[in-house]
Structure 1
Amino acid sequence: MPTQGPLSLLTRLHWCGRIVFACRVSVLSALAGFLLFSFVPQARDLFDDISYGPLPYSPFAWGMWLLFFVYVFLIWAFPVHFAARAILRTEAWMIPSRLRAAVKDDGLGCGEAVKEELAHIRREIDGCIRWTPRILGSLPFVAGFVVFVIYRQRIFTMSGRSAEVLAVASALAVTVFFILSYFAPFLQAGIAPRALVVPFLFGSLVFLGAALSWLGDLVGLPLLAGAIALAFGVTAFNQHFNDLRVLDGAPKDLARRQIEIADAVGKWKSANHCEGDKPCPPALIVAGEGGASRAAFAAATAIGDVLERSKQLPDHNELSPARRIFALSGVSGGALGAATVRTALWDALSRNGAAPPCRRAPQYWFGATEGDAEARVASDWRACLQALVSGDYLTAAFIGLGFRDNLSPPAHIVSGPTLLRDDRAALVERAWESYYDDVVEGRRSWNWNAARRGGPESASGLRRPFGYVAEALEQHDRAWLPMLLLNGTSVDKGTRILASDLVSTKPGTPHQGDIGGRAPLYPAAFDLFEMLSTPCPPAAVVHHACQEAHDDFADVPVRRDGADVRLSTTAMLSARFPIVSPAGTIRAKGDGGQNGDRVVDGGYFENAGITTALDVARALRGQGVTPILLWVQNDPTIDLDDVKEAEAPRSRLDRLAVTNPKTGEIPQFPPRAASTPRLQGAWPGWLQAFVAVVATPFEALTATRDGHALEAAETAQRRLQEMNAEARCVEGDCSLTASYFTFKMFRNPHFDEKADRCRALANVRQQPVMGVVSMSWWLSQSVQAELDSQLCDTRNRQSLDDLMKRLAQRLK
């Protein structure tokens, strides 16, 4: 007979551990959500959403958050609780299947003895069995804990038919969500956007996972792990799932898709009325730092302000408000910002005016609640550009990451005009396209319908094929559109992959030893259209140059016969950061697509876009034009003048150890000529030391993004000063000679009352400290307001003032 005495503490802990393992699906679901909202600012930013109006004044906002808690309960909390309770009611988790078969009642009473022992164990650990499902069911409700506490008794005591009916309703809702996620992802994004999609992500697989877990315990097989491996295996056989989206059919016009640097300079000079020997203004190159929607919004804010200030230049041109900007170089979110700015300028040009193309103020933009919002976006470039990059692109990424990308059959199984073949990167691209169209066309539409549009009639906005700038400029006299320079990183070589309006080579100079009459515009970087084209025959390659791609000093554009690519796809080329977006596959034309490379986020190489900007600056100087650079940053930096108020990365002691007591500066680089510079400390802390094998290389790789950007910025300052040393000012305020300007996000901004629009901020925020600004494909309105307020910082305002004085000059 089994022993009926009380269980020891260790035995109780052992059985409680078995309970947690038996409920592993519920545990993982609840714990993952709890950790996400506790430690990830991007997740908490979802609760700062006032798209439906501010609480407590908006009934739509009350309805949205009520729906959120309904989703949390029905789709997440209840399945977590119900699945755990259902599993613990069985005996499959208590005895391994092989032992269960061995102790079947064989007439000797062994089966009854085991059942009696199990019943005794259940009585001893009854508290753990009862409270584990309850705790798991409570975790998803941490955000609305008070509401959950009020009704927890009803939830926990629900049994019989009521619980079964609720379980069926939850399962039906999950099934509908699955179907919509695969076959109508943008319709699903409209039904459950942003915070509303989170319960589906963490709760929709609980019933299925728990069933597989229980069945696996029953038969003694790892069915849950097998199902996961099968799903991933099916997706692994889909070799074309992560291919870059390209337009079907032949390119529009290979000779006009990209433009020679000399031709681009000629058109820029014409727009600025400085052809021939006339003195020209400096040519501005804007470099946008990476950082998802935050970077796009920062770029839109800075460039929009420059465009508005350009109206005060003496040669203001209604047709080309961006005539001083020669190129926009972007990385990651900065690439989205650059592509959106140029597209908006293109649309404005096509309407024969300098007014912004926006027709409505979207609810996601932080200024949409103001009474004159519609008029502002239609007349003010900064407002329009901000509105164009304020959309919800995160829900599409969530749907792809949580569902579609984990089970995607090969292309020969899935055929026809369906979105099922799109990975999460393509879903984000389509979200960009649809949102841009909604703002510019002035209408609200289901993203699903907009995403399905295809054909030449929809080749507008961010669906427009990349390039063909010369074609647009030829339709207007002295018009100008900035060149796009979007930066990705090659997985195979680790170098840059560029989507550029400029031909990647220029006529060479024999005395410099250029091979075959052409010299590279971007040394050691790949051109996207060259990668998509038919590979050069090995016999035609001489010293890394394809002899068929040029005719002496002349370019042969027909050799770049790769397909056209949408603007949204080229922006995503640069914005493929880990997890959120997969590495993209670039396949060369011919050979069954076996030749090619994979591309990841441009920030792997350098997170500022300055390296490419400097390449173009050298080419401009070779054409007799004075290049200057504006670097738009979006990562909040510690205010060097207010170190005492700023929060240090580690501790106050560490901060004081590296701070100059006289200047209050924290050096970004080790001080020169220093025998032993004081840095941040050699020991990282116990947690990082505990996982140092994994954490240290990852931290170093992440820091390298910004480290390369800082080095590129330092190099750009020196090179621009050297290149422009001989430029002579003949018109305008000639006291300013700077060639490098910045727009930063300061942790401790300085506001004053000198500018009218900044007076209110100066009065309300005497000693402001910037809040946490998350980095994702969604920005809450409060984060947008924080970023926009940086225009009122005295240092940013002074930098932009100096920039405009520089742009008003004429140089020889």
Structure 2
Amino acid sequence: MPTSRDRSEPKLSVELRNWLNAIAATGFTFALLLLCVALIVVVSQTKDIILQLNDDIWVEQDGGAVLLSVVSLFSFSVMCWWSARFIFQMIEMQHRGHFDSRVVHQPNRFINEHTALWLPRVYAVLPGTILLLSGLLRQQFGAAVLGLVVALLSFWVVKSRTHWSNAALLSRLKLNNIWVLSGIVLLLTLILTFFSVFHLAGTSQFLGAFSTLFFGLSSLLFGMTAGVYLVTWKFWKIPLIGGLLKPPVPIFTLAVIGAAVMSSLFSTDNHGVRRCLADMAAAQSLQCPQPPAFAFSSLESASKTFELQLRLRWENLPGNHIPVFFVASEGGGLRAAYWSSQVMAELEKLYPGFHQHVFAMAGVSGGSVGNMFYAAALQQAELKDLQQWQKQLGDAVGQDYLSAVTTSFLYNDLLFRFLPIQVDPFQQDRAQVLEQSWERGFANTFAVTEERLGLSGHFQQLYRQSLASDPDGWLPMVLSLGTAQELGQTVITAPFPVQRNDFPAAYDFYQLAQCRQQNHLSCDIRLSTAALNAARFPYVTPAGSLNYDLATGLTKVAPDKKLHVIDGGYVDNFGAATTQQLIHSLKKAGFFAEKPQQKTLVPVVLLLTNAPDLDNSIFDLSRLEPSSVNSWLLNELVSPIQGILEVSQGSAANVANLVYYQQQSPEASILLTDQPAGVQSALVNTMLFRLPKKDASVPLGWWLSANSRDRMRCELTATTETRKSITKLIALFPDAKPVAMASGCEKG
């Protein structure tokens, strides 16, 4: 019934207030719809997924993928309608003491019947409509058609059900009853949840990235809405508490409080870093095949092994200097992994044996993942057909690694916050799932054997096997750079004991993980885990617990004693500082000193950056002012946030210091200079490989469309600045064949 205030207000004002009250009551649904809009319109990762979906419709004509995409987006649309209707009927039941399970009347005096009827319908058509408009604006007409189909289908279903009540069959089935519909949705959600938890790999692979995301959001919306309202329902009539829990209730806030209460009563931290142990198999661990040990007893030992094999290769080659390469791979998800691995593979293809001139590869986030795939592929294959090997490496790195981690995030990892049941695979976290997806992706491409396990093998064992199989060979040392959350400093995972006098601003992962006593190890980790130590992207992958109970895999220590490893990009997103410290430590030890009757070793840095929008001024020490600045709006409010974010990237200062450090090389030891486009001062003994601004749409994340992969491959093989840099680098080798400039793109 309208109040006296309603009668005195303009009709438009009353209607607007009703709609705002209704949106506030369904705030969680509205928030997920806003997230849906952001995913379709703003987020580069999902925009790339939609680009592939558009190709599936028009180019690949993949009917199965298209059908799953329609069903998943339709399920999310209908779930938005259901959640709003369910909330309104719960409000009505609390307000009136009863409700009609088939029809929503006026829920309360703040929300009228018309609004309660039409807002859920608007919610239902929004996801498809947003995809339709986005597809039209980007000229992705396949995606636009899909959005139109979903929008029309959703509206027809939720609108026509008011007429279905006249049909005798549907009336007998009670499909207009909200509780019957809720029961059906619950059953479907439980089935999807079962397969997503206990058959995660197969389910995520079958559904694909787009469908995984929207089926997951549908389950999240249903589970949170129904769970919170049904739990709080029991408290409505309790004095004091009941008044706080009467509908509408803040779903997200109460869910967070519930998770916090559960974590205080039970151990819900299942984010222990996986490891293998010398004497036991634990929840997140496996038995080591042999007693763990560092591949090299020290940095000095590694450098001597490297120098010996390198001088043998250059014994009969002309010249007085030998280049020693140090790779710094910038972070950036799968974009960084694909770019860094393909740059290194291209160099290997053009100069077979190039990897034996690379002393170490420091990587952060996706750069570390690419380095690890590259090192494992070098050890796994015989490198006879380098063209085919490069393609295999690209196929291994460029797979869908988003679906599995998204499935784990929205199902078992989220459920474990509320139901900490210590049963595998339910208690596995999404970090472990991501590692295992890398292992499967590598194994699906390369021949994995009991001796060569690919990314599921053990990190130190990789280098011991390499030395055992080819004593005169060399496998580049991968330095995986994470961040110690509680210490704010770099954590290095390396095949030798990390000492503070060599790396004063870093800690040894094995030391923090309680695996190292002096220079001896009691446990090791997989290659996939070593890569993830640097690639724990915020929220997508959780912080890894370093000190946890090995018997259960859960962290039970007091909060002030916990120690975690997080993404390396918080401190140095380039690995430039660690690369400089490494070169400096070797220089102090005389590694690059001139020696009688011997060629002099010269450090050459390869900077692999995948950020097309990176400011060139960080490489240009002659520039007095930055080439561009981008201050955020509302500076009074957001200036501290922007400052923290920009500083935490760690790129500019560390890269500039490394560039300057290399410029101090003795004049006689300058093997090459490079002057990237837009940079006034030349880089000395430093080579930059970067994606150009035209590739700015290649997304961050753990999924790449075929179009994005082809664009990066094209940058390496066509007549580009990157190709010119590759040509200049290969020319350092006296026995190298001339590099031909390709006339077109070579696609992977």
Question: Matched residue pairs, number?
Answer: 647
CA distance in 2 between partners of 1:340 and 1:282 (Å):
24
1:332 equivalent among 365, 389, 414: 365
Alpha-carbon spacing, 1:280–1:169, altered in 2? closer, same or farther (3 Å): farther
Displacement after TM superposition at 1:244 (Å): 0.7
Map of 1:801 onto structure 2? 727
Q: Note the alpha carbon deviations across 1:216-240, whole angstroms, 9 max, x for none.
A: 4793453745454223433564264
Alignment check: 8 A CA contact 1:242 1:423 kept: yes
Alignment check: 8 A CA contact 2:413 2:427 kept: no
Structure 1: gaps of 5 or more residues: 105-110, 112-117, 312-319, 357-377, 443-455, 506-518, 537-548, 550-556, 641-665, 730-735, 748-768
CA distance in 2 between partners of 1:667 and 1:616 (Å):
21
Map of 2:741 onto structure 1? none
Displacement after TM superposition at 1:489 (Å): 0.9
Alignment check: 8 A CA contact 2:272 2:544 kept: yes
Map of 1:501 onto structure 2? 495
Instruction: With the length of structure 2 as denominator, give the TM-score of the two structures.
Output: 0.77
Alignment check: 8 A CA contact 2:516 2:522 kept: no
Alignment check: 8 A CA contact 1:240 1:411 kept: no
- Does residue 141 in structure 1 map to residue 128 in structure 2? yes
1:85-124 alignment to 2 at 5 Å?
Answer: 85-88=85-88, 90=89, 92-93=90-91
CA distance in 2 between partners of 1:483 and 1:494 (Å):
24
The aligned amino acid for 1:529 is Y
Q: Note the alpha carbon deviations across 1:664-699, whole angstroms, 9 max, x for none.
A: xx787797667xx89637x632xx44xx54x43332
Alignment check: 8 A CA contact 1:30 1:137 kept: no
CA distance in 2 between partners of 1:389 and 1:40 (Å):
22
- Does residue 295 in structure 1 map to residue 336 in structure 2? yes
Q: Note the alpha carbon deviations across 1:40-61, whole angstroms, 9 max, x for none.
A: 121121112269x7433544x1
2:327 equivalent among 269, 286, 305: 286
- Does residue 241 in structure 1 map to residue 270 in structure 2? yes
Q: Note the alpha carbon deviations across 1:697-731, whole angstroms, 9 max, x for none.
A: 3322332244x3232222222322434545488xx
List structure 1 runs of 4+ shifted beyond 6 angstroms: 1-5, 118-124, 275-278, 409-412, 588-596, 666-674
Map of 1:28 onto structure 2? 31
Of 211-220 and 463-472, more deviation after overlay is shown by 211-220
2:655 equivalent among 706, 713, 720: 713
Alpha-carbon spacing, 1:157–1:255, altered in 2? closer, same or farther (3 Å): closer
Displacement after TM superposition at 1:432 (Å): 0.6
- Does residue 684 in structure 1 map to residue 609 in structure 2? no
CA distance in 2 between partners of 1:212 and 1:412 (Å):
16
Alpha-carbon spacing, 1:743–1:24, altered in 2? closer, same or farther (3 Å): same
Displacement after TM superposition at 1:37 (Å): 1.5
Map of 2:282 onto structure 1? none
Q: Note the alpha carbon deviations across 1:99-154, whole angstroms, 9 max, x for none.
A: x58xx9xxxxxx9xxxxxx8798999443232201100011222234214544335
The aligned amino acid for 1:347 is Q
Q: Note the alpha carbon deviations across 1:277-334, whole angstroms, 9 max, x for none.
A: 98662111111100000000110121011101113xxxxxxxx552111111110000
The aligned amino acid for 2:454 is G
Map of 1:637 onto structure 2? 613
The aligned amino acid for 2:466 is A
SS at 1:775 equivalent: coil
Q: Note the alpha carbon deviations across 1:735-756, whole angstroms, 9 max, x for none.
A: x994100101111xxxxxxxxx
- Does residue 481 in structure 1 map to residue 423 in structure 2? no
- Does residue 573 in structure 1 map to residue 554 in structure 2? no
Alignment check: 8 A CA contact 1:490 1:597 kept: yes
SS at 2:479 equivalent: strand
CA distance in 2 between partners of 1:86 and 1:410 (Å):
22
Displacement after TM superposition at 1:593 (Å): 7.0
- Does residue 16 in structure 1 map to residue 19 in structure 2? yes
Displacement after TM superposition at 1:457 (Å): 4.5
Structure 2: gaps of 5 or more residues: 100-104, 132-145, 237-241, 280-287, 593-600, 672-681, 737-748
Map of 2:114 onto structure 1? 127
Map of 1:206 onto structure 2? 221
Q: Note the alpha carbon deviations across 1:770-797, whole angstroms, 9 max, x for none.
A: 3511100111111112222222353212
Alignment check: 8 A CA contact 1:235 1:408 kept: no
CA distance in 2 between partners of 1:155 and 1:487 (Å):
51
CA distance in 2 between partners of 1:124 and 1:533 (Å):
58
- Does residue 466 in structure 1 map to residue 434 in structure 2? no
Q: Note the alpha carbon deviations across 1:399-443, whole angstroms, 9 max, x for none.
A: 23223332326999514xx2222211111111111111111139x
- Does residue 261 in structure 1 map to residue 291 in structure 2? no
1:171-186 alignment to 2 at 5 Å?
Answer: 171-186=186-201
- Does residue 780 in structure 1 map to residue 728 in structure 2? no
Alpha-carbon spacing, 1:565–1:86, altered in 2? closer, same or farther (3 Å): closer
Displacement after TM superposition at 1:181 (Å): 2.7
Alpha-carbon spacing, 1:205–1:607, altered in 2? closer, same or farther (3 Å): closer
Map of 2:422 onto structure 1? 414
Displacement after TM superposition at 1:458 (Å): 8.5
1:667-746 alignment to 2 at 5 Å?
Answer: 680=629, 684-685=632-633, 688-689=634-635, 693=637, 695-706=638-649, 708-727=650-669, 738-746=684-692
SS at 1:772 equivalent: coil
Displacement after TM superposition at 1:633 (Å): 0.5
Map of 1:598 onto structure 2? 564
SS at 1:700 equivalent: helix
Alpha-carbon spacing, 1:232–1:182, altered in 2? closer, same or farther (3 Å): farther
CA distance in 1 between partners of 2:258 and 2:615 (Å):
51
Displacement after TM superposition at 1:478 (Å): 1.7
Instruction: With the length of structure 1 as denominator, give the TM-score of the two structures.
Output: 0.71
1:579-594 alignment to 2 at 5 Å?
Answer: 579-587=539-547
1:303-314 alignment to 2 at 5 Å?
Answer: 303-311=344-352
CA distance in 2 between partners of 1:121 and 1:436 (Å):
57
Q: Note the alpha carbon deviations across 1:584-623, whole angstroms, 9 max, x for none.
A: 1112899997766211111111111122222222244322
2:510 equivalent among 529, 536, 556: 529
Displacement after TM superposition at 1:474 (Å): 2.6
CA distance in 2 between partners of 1:135 and 1:45 (Å):
27
CA distance in 2 between partners of 1:29 and 1:16 (Å):
18
CA distance in 2 between partners of 1:794 and 1:35 (Å):
34
1:613 equivalent among 576, 579, 592: 579
Map of 2:160 onto structure 1? 157
Alignment check: 8 A CA contact 1:281 1:809 kept: no
Q: Note the alpha carbon deviations across 1:23-77, whole angstroms, 9 max, x for none.
A: 33433333321232122121121112269x7433544x1221122112222x311
Displacement after TM superposition at 1:481 (Å): 0.6
SS at 1:282 equivalent: strand
- The share of aligned pairs that are identical, in percent, is 22
- Does residue 623 in structure 1 map to residue 588 in structure 2? no
Alignment check: 8 A CA contact 1:610 1:716 kept: yes
The aligned amino acid for 1:608 is F
1:196 equivalent among 202, 211, 214: 211
CA distance in 2 between partners of 1:503 and 1:482 (Å):
16
1:43 equivalent among 46, 55, 66: 46
- Does residue 437 in structure 1 map to residue 418 in structure 2? no
CA distance in 2 between partners of 1:678 and 1:784 (Å):
29
Alignment check: 8 A CA contact 1:636 1:744 kept: yes
Alignment check: 8 A CA contact 1:295 1:334 kept: yes
Q: Note the alpha carbon deviations across 1:65-96, whole angstroms, 9 max, x for none.
A: 122112222x31122213323444x4x52586
Alpha-carbon spacing, 1:245–1:233, altered in 2? closer, same or farther (3 Å): farther
Displacement after TM superposition at 1:275 (Å): 8.5
Of 247-256 and 271-280, more deviation after overlay is shown by 271-280
Map of 2:141 onto structure 1? none
CA distance in 2 between partners of 1:335 and 1:248 (Å):
24
CA distance in 2 between partners of 1:271 and 1:523 (Å):
29
Alignment check: 8 A CA contact 1:241 1:411 kept: no
CA distance in 2 between partners of 1:612 and 1:201 (Å):
39
SS at 2:362 equivalent: strand
